[in-house]
Amino acid sequence: MTFKNKFLVIIVFVISFFNFSDVCYGSLMNRKEAMMIVETTEEVKALYELNDGVFINCIEKSVVRPCDTEWVTCIDDAWVVEFKLGKACGIEHDGRLKITMVVNAKTGEIISRFPEAEYFKDKNYCLESYDCISIPNNEEGLDSKCVNFVYGQIEANGNLVNEACRCLENICQEDLN
């Protein structure tokens, strides 16, 4: 075999190797990589710090394909990553005590996130009135108080009050109308 032929064989081998590795390994990130991206977000850090970190050992994590969940429509090449307060936390809730993020499996970009970190940092933060819950108030002279769905469910643990709350200028407050 001549030098020229050997050189061509080597070039074909190298090109084949790189094409083969792209097919076998793909350019998509795996579940663990998607989880690592979400774990570094402000939202997850705020969830871990919620109530001075008391829930850190009962937070459940999952990573699934969007097509395997009802939360989002089916998106190819993405992961849905969830962090939620599990049953071991002992908090009765309506399923909203979780963080859900959709991660693009090609770029690592977070496509969608809910809720924002601010819900965990500020008990009165809201975007719409549905975010607000009325709970019993332990302060003297007040029967109830309005807080967002994160703090409302944690503080009331199922004992919600039937008074109306609304979101006005991103603050949960009593609906006086």
Give 61-74 pLDDT, tens digit per residue. Answer: 999 887 776 655 67
Are 52 and 67 contacting, i.e. CB atoms less than 8 angstroms apart? no
* Between residues 85 and 18, the one the model is more confident about: 85
Confidence check: pLDDT of 140 > 90 = no
Domain ranges of the chain: 31-120, 122-174
The whole-model pTM stands at 0.74
Q: What is the mean pLDDT of the chain?
A: 81
CATH architecture for the domain at 31-120: Roll (3.10)
Residue found by looking up tokens 């643990």 in the block: 157
Residue 120 CA to residue 130 CA, distance in Å, equals 16
